[in-house]
A and B are shown apart, each in its own frame.
Chain A
Amino acid sequence: MNMFEKMLSWMPALLRATGVTISLTALSVSCGLILSLFLALGKISKSKVVQKLCGAYIYFFRGTPLLMQLFFIYYALPQLHSALTISSRFTAAWIAYSLNSAAYLAEIIRAAIQSIDKGQLEASRALGMSYGKAMRLVIIPQSIRRLIPPIGNEFIMIIKDTSLVSSIALVDLMKKTSQIQSSTASPLVYLPSMAIYLTITAVLTWVFNCLEKKFSIYE
């Protein structure tokens, strides 16, 4: 087998593992986004208690290593109480990445909401909208365009951060790469693997550029 054929022969296994990487990222960022919207609204709410709680959440998840959060959820929780056992490695990773990305996304969303001119909220209130309606109809839709680039960035970060799941023996692209590497002792396996990561990043960048254009029509 020449070099090229060798790399091609690894492809099916690598692509299967890529499925894990992509689905973990997509599920985590989606769940993280939903949770982060509530965290962001909590962080700017009038209630000091809600503000503090959301602040503490964000502080915790941004202030401790992601790998430690992952270990804590997968290894430590079952030992604290058996009801907290998460038997699926994928689910454990999904929870850890969702909770973690929610903290980062919450700060992104809060900043975007607060960057909207306060005259927009005043005009909404003067037109009879409640705070909730003003947020839903006026403020949040306007912040979406400003959110797209940093959310795209977060996606790319998470794609690469998912490589940490190899440490709980979940077979993602990274894990599969190192498995092949150790069984074949061939340094070449890193090349197709990197190409896959780069392809995913390129596609994501393209999608988010398109989204940004689509949401910029009114400017």
Chain B
Amino acid sequence: MSMIKVENVYKNFGTLEVLKDVSFTVEAGEVVCIIGPSGAGKSTILRSLNHLEKITSGKIWIENDLLDDRKDGVNLVKLSSAERASILLKTGMVFQRFNLFPHKTVLENVTLSPIHVKGLTKDKAETLAKDIISRVGLADKINEYPSRLSGGQQQRVAIARALAMEPEIMLFDEPTSALDPELVGEVLNVMKKLAESGMTMIVVTHEMSFAREVADRILFMFDGSICEEGKPDEIFNNPKNERTRNFLKSVL
């Protein structure tokens, strides 16, 4: 059983076709990196998995659940918002610009959803949160507001915040692109540890060395389609597609 299955997905913004027949699967425990030039549709496909974008056609399954209305014989069964919410709880997302809640402390950022969405008691949520926050190395910052943290620290809090909902799949959209170069490493290290712990991850990234080292599989996207996919070794050392070769030449 795949963790994620994407089948023939199309997405238009008005007349602009942003995703064209995208299909791929991600297995449990796999780390998949999506690379490709700007505007290729990397963010759009990732956001579709979390329903932040609504796809135009095609199908997305998270584990066994179709993330859309389904046909039952001839009847269309509407996916209720409660069902969708419970499917989406299986995915956590980390954004390029962190999107921490500025009016909440680090601890409150991490406990907000466990308390108000999952219904955990404050005590339970805080115990869980403190454990996760110390795993991302910020135990001494739990009472700070996000504005007092560096970008790298903020992104680590954002990772902790997503992990606190205990997702089975983590989605990362260029998690280090907004960081000063000297802060990239601390975030990538947290992600590496997460990958080693067996988390299923999809990472959109421009950090080629991270992709090469951590990914089990690379998807190369170009102009709304997946042009090439394969093991890092194949993609980086022996790319088959002309476009992949050109892209890698331009970034490496």
Contact = CB atoms under 8 A, between A and B. Distances in A.
Given A127-B92, A138-B101, A142-B101, 10 more contacts: A119-B99, A122-B52, A126-B52, A126-B95, A127-B117, A127-B161, A128-B85, A130-B85, A142-B102, A218-B104
| Chain A residues touching B, majority SS | helix
Q: Which range contains the number of B residues in contact with the other chain?
A: 20 to 34
Contacts of A141: 103
Contacts of A120: 99, 101
Contact of B102 (A122, A128, A218): A218
B162 interface: yes
Interface string A192-219: 0000000000000000000000000111
A129 B101 CA distance: 13
A125 interface: yes
B116 A123 contact: no
* Size bin of chain A's contact surface: 10 to 19
A133 interface: yes
Nearest to B85: A128
Interface string A128-152: 1110010001100110000000000
B147 interface: yes
A125 B113 CA distance: 10
B116 A129 contact: yes
A133 B145 contact: no
Interface string A98-129: 00000000000000000001011011011111
Contacts, number: 65
Contacts of B97: 119
Per CB-CB distance, the 9 closest pairs between chain A and chain B, nearest first, are A123-B99, A127-B113, A126-B93, A119-B99, A218-B145, A128-B117, A128-B89, A218-B103, A142-B103
A127 B85 CA distance: 10
Interface in B95-141: 95, 97, 99-104, 112-113, 116-118
Given A122-B95, A218-B147, A130 B112 contact: no
Interface string A165-191: 000000000000000000000000000
Contact of A130 (B81, B104, B165): B81
Contacts of A123: 93, 95, 99-101, 158
A141 B101 CA distance: 10
Nearest to A128: B117
Nearest to B118: A128
21 contacts: A119-B95, A119-B97, A120-B99, A122-B99, A123-B93, A123-B95, A125-B50, A126-B50, A126-B52, A126-B92, A126-B93, A128-B88, A128-B89, A129-B116, A129-B117, A130-B81, A141-B103, A142-B102, A142-B103, A218-B102, A218-B104
A141 B93 CA distance: 23
